[in-house]
Structure 1
Amino acid sequence: MKKSSPKFEYKTFTLGSEITQEQKDYFTKFGVIQFKGFITDETAELFIQELAQIEKKWLDDKVEKINGIPLKFGKDPQGNDMIQRMCFTNKYSPVLGEFLKDPRFQLLTEFLAPYEGRLSEDEKDGLVFNHYVNQPNSKFTQMGWHTDSPRDLFLGQKILPMLNVGIHLDNCPSANGGLRVIPGTQNQSVLKLLFGKKQFIDHRPDPREVAFEIERGDLTIHDGRLWHRVEVSPNYGEKSRRRVMYVPIITGKFKPKSENSKTPFYHRFAKVVQK
């Protein structure tokens, strides 16, 4: 008998001094949760300024990879060069590095219980900055359906529990594209987790998917086994701009990256799936 996904109830929460039982139950059921106002407008502006400084230096220095992870380049609405995906930004800004010391991140590890999670400051891709702009010369307008688990297999290890934590730096109503998930699919079989859709290639809407009404400063968390995608904005240029930082909370053996790290095998497929 085919197992159906649970009926989704869209709710938002506020993160306090502890994770409540209601929040744990919600995440266990749907594999995703949204917290309002995790950072202030002023903090979001500060982060945008910090990221702009990192971007300028990397463009000036013609940096193409950080710790073996390729950067994604494109054009801004004015036709200037920009970096649309930046990794390990926490290592190039004391402000962003200090932000990851916020004790609230440690609270989020409870969503991985009974596993012990840790913030990926030195592992995976560190603190990632995704900068979506929809225009002809943009290389990063959307992201196809995927789970975050197959990379574990590419790295020669078993699939491990993980969370992907997003800090949103712009208002992003569902009408402007953005995050889409299929609630409950974190509980799917390994076969469906790997082959339920064509990873990154399939951009088609799914009748089970849900969208989010996101405001600047909100925080979203999704289980790495959950099917999710990023919908392209129907707008163009400045109106389509969406900026979000992501950092994973991971489990397993500590595997830090350095400037001597090799580029993971799965990045060879980047040009195939990049839009």
Structure 2
Amino acid sequence: MIKLECPNFTLGNKLTQEQLDFFDKNGVIIFRNFITRDTVETLLTEINTLQKTWLDEGREKVNGTPLKFGKDENGQKIIQRFCFSSLHNTVLHEFLKDPRFKALPAMVAPFEGRIGEDEKDGLVINQYIKTPDSTFSQMGWHTDSPRDIFLGQRIMPMLNVGIHLDDCPAENGGLRVLTGTHKQGILKLLFAKKYFIDNNEDAQEVGFDIQAGDLTVHDGRLWHRVQQSPYTGLKSRRRVMYIPIITGKMIPKNEQSKTPFYHHFGHKAKF
């Protein structure tokens, strides 16, 4: 694993040319200290509240997308992958109005980008934890682009914006990417690796030292995965919120939306 050598970028209301050039070259960028530790704790409180509500309701899907369930280090049932979270929580919804998010669509110019709060899977919250009954401790190599094909569309530029809620040095697992692969041809985008099945390390993969409050952005066409933690229990826990920035035709979802067929294959898999 190679650690990404990234300047200590901060995100303001407008991206600098240095930041745009870095992202264009690598397909990924880190903005340090996007939110404070107090804000991190506020978001975690709201996530726990939303989790309790959905577990009490027995909810299994949101807008057609299945939730992913598992158990924590105490054997308690948890939601390990939320979706459309900000549509069901006022604090999370208001958080997405931070004006700094409006700077990010410049990365997909000349296309017009927008925050997909009610598109794709909306605001996704991933709770990775390694326990005997966890269903979500890692994620195999993939890009985010084939979903466009499954929906009958051509592949359009998109961004996945991650707000990290736990400290996660590279040695504890976490995000891995193959920098520059966002510029690959269609054949490599679709066939360079076995989607979600391949968890193997790549000699060229890049890892990150992440701190709670950092924000990452990666191009949806970039090959990436989530490395499993070498630890178990609380020390392995990694919570991240992801919101997509989308281009192209708007396809909002609602409670009448059908489950995309690819979820029938993958949402019960134990990773």
Offset at residue 271 of structure 1 (A) = 5.0
Offset at residue 269 of structure 1 (A) = 1.8
Offset at residue 122 of structure 1 (A) = 0.9
Name the counterpart of 1:12.
8
Contact 1:36 1:218 in 2 (8 A): yes
How far apart in 1 are the matches of 2:91 and 2:5? 36
Contact 1:12 1:33 in 2 (8 A): no
Can you list the C-alpha shifts for 1:177-199, whole angstroms capped at 9, x where unaligned? Answer: 00000000000000100110001
Offset at residue 92 of structure 1 (A) = 1.1
TM-score (norm 1): 0.96
How far apart in 2 are the matches of 1:118 and 1:142? 28
Offset at residue 273 of structure 1 (A) = 4.9
Can you list the C-alpha shifts for 1:13-55, whole angstroms capped at 9, x where unaligned? Answer: 1112320000000000000000001111011101101010110
Name the counterpart of 1:201.
197
**Matched position secondary structure for 1:192:** helix
Aligned CA-pair RMSD: 1.2
**Matched position secondary structure for 1:53:** helix
How far apart in 2 are the matches of 1:80 and 1:268? 25
- Give the counterpart of 1:40 among 26, 36, 43: 36
Aligned AA for 1:243? Answer: R
Name the counterpart of 1:221.
217
Contact 2:177 2:206 in 1 (8 A): yes
Aligned AA for 2:50? Answer: I
How far apart in 2 are the matches of 1:227 and 1:250? 18
Aligned AA for 1:129? Answer: I
Q: How many residues align?
A: 269
How far apart in 2 are the matches of 1:264 and 1:274? 19
How far apart in 2 are the matches of 1:229 and 1:259? 29
- Give the counterpart of 2:145 among 126, 144, 149: 149
Q: Determine if the alignment matches structure 1 residue 105 to structure 2 residue 101.
A: yes
Q: Percent identity?
A: 62
How far apart in 2 are the matches of 1:203 and 1:154? 23
Offset at residue 8 of structure 1 (A) = 6.3
Name the counterpart of 1:80.
76
Contact 2:135 2:269 in 1 (8 A): no
Contact 2:130 2:231 in 1 (8 A): yes
How far apart in 1 are the matches of 2:268 and 2:66? 14
**Matched position secondary structure for 1:58:** helix
Offset at residue 67 of structure 1 (A) = 0.3
Aligned AA for 1:58? Answer: W
Name the counterpart of 1:3.
none
How far apart in 1 are the matches of 2:117 and 2:267? 26
Gaps of 5+ in 1: 1-6
Runs (4 or more) in structure 1 with deviation over 4 Å come to none
How far apart in 1 are the matches of 2:5 and 2:178? 12
Gaps of 5+ in 2: none
Name the counterpart of 1:265.
261
How far apart in 2 are the matches of 1:233 and 1:140? 11
How far apart in 2 are the matches of 1:71 and 1:154? 20
Offset at residue 11 of structure 1 (A) = 3.1
- Give the counterpart of 2:133 among 134, 137, 147: 137
How far apart in 2 are the matches of 1:266 and 1:156? 13
Offset at residue 233 of structure 1 (A) = 0.3
